[in-house]
């Protein structure tokens, strides 16, 4: 559980100690922009933060739950709920699944509160930029800091989609070289990953559009262009997700077609073998009826070269049929 507070303006960054209600209220009223970063909080800490910054109980409940990304307007602040995402690897290269967690952004004119269930790289990267006194961050209000956090989260989606794209290319090569049952499992895993990232990207795009088109009262007109840039990135994400879904579906169709073709090749070879054996079985069956002592017996049964002649005839029949099948493209 961690509650960290920093107050900054164009010239200075000041860290604040304490997570009590009085300390939080004092930080909120301080000159400059106040950022309270909350990670893995207890219920008591959440209650103190909510009371100090007038956060609604339903907002806190959303951050603790798993709702879709959204934006809500309140008289004193804007609430943005997005999801940070990352790929968690398994035992093999392709055994990965997307892990996401809600990130709550609450910002007014001169303060911002971020709440996450655990430490988040996207939030941490922006926090470090503030600590390094990056001029662009220090010279803007809380809405710009919220934009930087959103931008860092959206950049994580790029990394995930790039990884999925490389996996799809690898699977396509694998389908051509050596399709097997494991390939189908990999394809299904990739399709699940794409479905998971789609459930994140689509509502995030809709939420950021509210901030980009000027509907949020606490987003300055000068900052809207930055949110429009994030929105453009999310539009690209949506297009990539749909493209990769098409590629994954196409790869799955190729796999099924390749498997069907392989089965047809096996059946063709079995048919050729059965067709060759059929006349040989007939000959063997006929000469297996080796009756003797009657007027209808086969006279060649008593021929000295009868057996070699029949075997040679059977070999010649098989050779002729093999030659015919090969010339017809069956083999």
pTM assigned to the model: 0.77
Q: What is the CA radius of gyration of the chain?
A: 36
Query: In which element (H, E) is residue 14 found?
Result: strand 13-16
Cα–Cα distance between 189 and 197 in angstroms, integer? 13
Which mean pLDDT values do the consecutive 10-residue runs of the chain (331 residues) have? 86 85 90 92 91 92 88 93 80 60 93 92 92 85 93 92 88 77 81 89 93 86 92 94 88 77 72 75 67 60 69 79 72 62
Burial of 16 (0-12, 13-18, 19+ CB in 10 A): middle
Please tell me the predicted confidence (pLDDT) of residue 327: 76
Please tell me the predicted confidence (pLDDT) of residue 137: 83
Q: How many CB atoms lie within 10 A of CB 109?
A: 13
DSSP states of 75-140: SS-EEEEEEEEEEEE-SSTT-EEEEEEEEEEEE-SSEEEEEESS--HHHHHHHHHHHTT-HHHHTS
Domains of the chain and CATH, by start = 2-159+181-259 (3.30.460.20), 262-327 (1.20.58)
Please tell me the predicted confidence (pLDDT) of residue 34: 93
Calculate helix-pair angle for 306-327, 221-288, nearest 10 degrees: 160
Please tell me the predicted confidence (pLDDT) of residue 170: 85
Please tell me the predicted confidence (pLDDT) of residue 94: 46
Please tell me the predicted confidence (pLDDT) of residue 278: 77
Structure tokens at 204: 């995030």
> Quick check: 161 and 197 in contact, CB under 8 A?
yes
Cα–Cα distance between 154 and 168 in angstroms, integer? 21
DSSP states of 179-237: --HHHHHHHHHHHHHHHHHHHHHHHHHHHHHHHHTT--TTS-HHHHHHHHHHHHHHHHH
């Amino acid at each position: 559980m961690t509650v960290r507070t920093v107050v900054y303006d164009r010239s200075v960054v000041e860290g604040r100690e304490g997570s009590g209600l009085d300390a939080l209220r004092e930080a909120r009223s301080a000159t400059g922009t106040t950022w309270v970063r909350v990670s893995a909080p207890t219920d008591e800490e959440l209650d103190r933060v909510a009371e100090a910054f007038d956060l609604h109980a339903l907002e806190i409940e959303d951050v603790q739950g798993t709702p879709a990304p959204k934006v809500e307007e309140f008289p004193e602040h804007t609430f943005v709920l997005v999801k940070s995402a990352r790929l968690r690897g398994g035992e093999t290269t392709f055994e990965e699944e997307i892990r996401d967690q809600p990130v709550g952004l609450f910002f007014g004119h001169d303060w911002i509160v971020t709440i996450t269930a655990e430490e988040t790289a996207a939030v941490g990267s922006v926090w470090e930029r503030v600590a390094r006194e990056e001029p662009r961050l220090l010279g803007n209000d809380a809405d710009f800091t919220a934009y930087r956090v959103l931008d860092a989260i959206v950049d994580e989606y790029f990394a995930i989609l790039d990884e999925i794209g490389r996996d799809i290319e690898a699977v396509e090569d694998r389908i051509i070289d050596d399709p097997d049952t494991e390939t189908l499992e990999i394809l299904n895993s990739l399709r699940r990953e794409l479905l998971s990232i789609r459930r994140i990207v689509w509502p995030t795009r809709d939420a950021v559009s509210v901030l980009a088109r000027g509907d949020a009262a606490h987003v300055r007109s000068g900052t809207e262009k930055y949110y429009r840039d994030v929105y453009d990135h999310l539009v690209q994400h949506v297009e990539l997700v749909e493209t990769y879904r098409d590629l994954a579906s196409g790869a799955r169709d190729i796999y099924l077609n390749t498997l069907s073709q392989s089965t047809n090749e096996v059946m063709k070879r079995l048919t050729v073998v059965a067709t060759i054996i059929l006349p040989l079985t007939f000959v063997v069956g006929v000469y297996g009826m080796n009756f003797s002592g009657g007027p209808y017996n086969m006279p060649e049964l008593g021929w000295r070269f009868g057996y070699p002649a029949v075997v040679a005839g059977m070999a010649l029949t098989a050779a002729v049929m093999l030659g015919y099948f090969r010339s017809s493209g069956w083999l």
